[in-house]
Amino acid sequence: MFTGIVQDARPIVAVAEVSGGRRLTVDLPDSGEPIALGESIALDGVCLTVASAAGRVATFDVIAETLRRTTLGRRRVGDTVNVERALRPTDRLGGHFVQGHVDGTAVLAKRNDSPQEVVLEFQADAGLIDEMLPKGSIAIDGVSLTLVDVDRAAGRFRVALIPTTLAVTTLARRREGDAVNIETDLIGKWVRRYLADVLGGASAGGVTMDKLREAGFV
């Protein structure tokens, strides 16, 4: 489990193509704690397992399913990735609950820079857009952000980045046409799934007051 509060953006120092996937080696930030074999670390919002470690340098195996669903298949030596180590029970929850299980990718469609903030507008498929709501939480490349607005008809959503986020993460480097990893809000997904199961889903006419009464919500 993670929070979407990125520790630092760090470089990929080696990439190896292997049977069924690839291996990424990353020079991780110095957190004052040793890196343990088998621990979970999120790279660009993707929860990966440490396969080997030497000092701050760790290697991760990335399987074919993860490469298909995320942007990690496009990363090369010298690219930087957002790094977050797993949440401890005593840590502050500064962002929101993030699993590191990417739901899909979105493409940066428009970028608007101003002295106060940077607003990024993304294009995504309907399945991702349906799991978003204005002022809700979203993880973009592992960064916990608040949705400014969501345009379901256009298949777009916007987020605003403050200077601190731009300084610490890779999002400052994203340009129009770049793809990013998206994880929608964990709690919202399960509420939506539960209501769909209870109420019969959109094919059964969607949510109505009668269905809410039948399910005991009213």
Examine residue 118 and state whether it is found in any structural domain, yes or no: yes
Examine residue 43 and state whether it is found in any structural domain, yes or no: yes
pLDDT on residue 197: 74
Query: Does residue 114 sit in the same domain as residue 51?
Result: no
> Of the candidates 74, 132, 92, 73, which has an alpha carbon nearest to the alpha carbon of residue 4?
92
pLDDT digits (tens, 9 = 90+) for 172-184: 999 999 999 999 9
Query: Does residue 173 sit in the same domain as residue 117?
Result: yes
pLDDT on residue 200: 66
Examine residue 76 and state whether it is found in any structural domain, yes or no: yes
Q: What DSSP designation does 34 have?
A: P
| Alpha carbon distance 83, 141 (integer Å) | 10
User: Rg (Cα) of the chain, in Å, rounded?
Assistant: 19
pLDDT at position 192 over 50: yes
Query: Does residue 72 sit in the same domain as residue 141?
Result: no
Lowest mean pLDDT, pick from 28-32, 60-64, 188-192, 213-217? 213-217
Examine residue 94 and state whether it is found in any structural domain, yes or no: no
pLDDT at position 63 over 50: yes
Query: Does residue 167 sit in the same domain as residue 208?
Result: no
| Alpha carbon distance 218, 211 (integer Å) | 9
pLDDT on residue 167: 94
DSSP string, 150-183: EETTTTEEEEEE-HHHHHHSGGGG--TT-EEEEE
Query: Does residue 179 sit in the same domain as residue 109?
Result: yes
CATH code for the domain in which residue 116 is found = 2.40.30.20
User: How many domains does the chain divide into?
Assistant: 3
Lowest mean pLDDT, pick from 18-22, 25-29, 97-101, 194-198? 194-198
Query: Does residue 19 sit in the same domain as residue 80?
Result: yes
Query: Does residue 142 sit in the same domain as residue 171?
Result: yes
Query: Does residue 142 sit in the same domain as residue 203?
Result: no
Query: Does residue 63 sit in the same domain as residue 116?
Result: no
Token pair belonging to 93: 């929850």
pLDDT at position 195 over 70: yes
Examine residue 91 and state whether it is found in any structural domain, yes or no: no
Beta carbons of 144 and 5 less than 8 angstroms apart: yes
Query: Does residue 181 sit in the same domain as residue 109?
Result: yes
Examine residue 96 and state whether it is found in any structural domain, yes or no: no
Query: Does residue 80 sit in the same domain as residue 120?
Result: no
| Alpha carbon distance 52, 68 (integer Å) | 23
What's the whole-number average pLDDT of the chain?
91
Q: Domain span at residue 35?
A: 8-85
> Of the candidates 51, 73, 61, which has an alpha carbon nearest to the alpha carbon of residue 19?
61
pLDDT digits (tens, 9 = 90+) for 69-95: 999 999 999 999 999 999 988 888 889
Percent of the chain with pLDDT over 70: 93
Query: Does residue 166 sit in the same domain as residue 203?
Result: no
Task: Report, as an integer, the average pLDDT of 124-145.
Answer: 95
pLDDT at position 50 over 60: yes
pLDDT on residue 202: 47
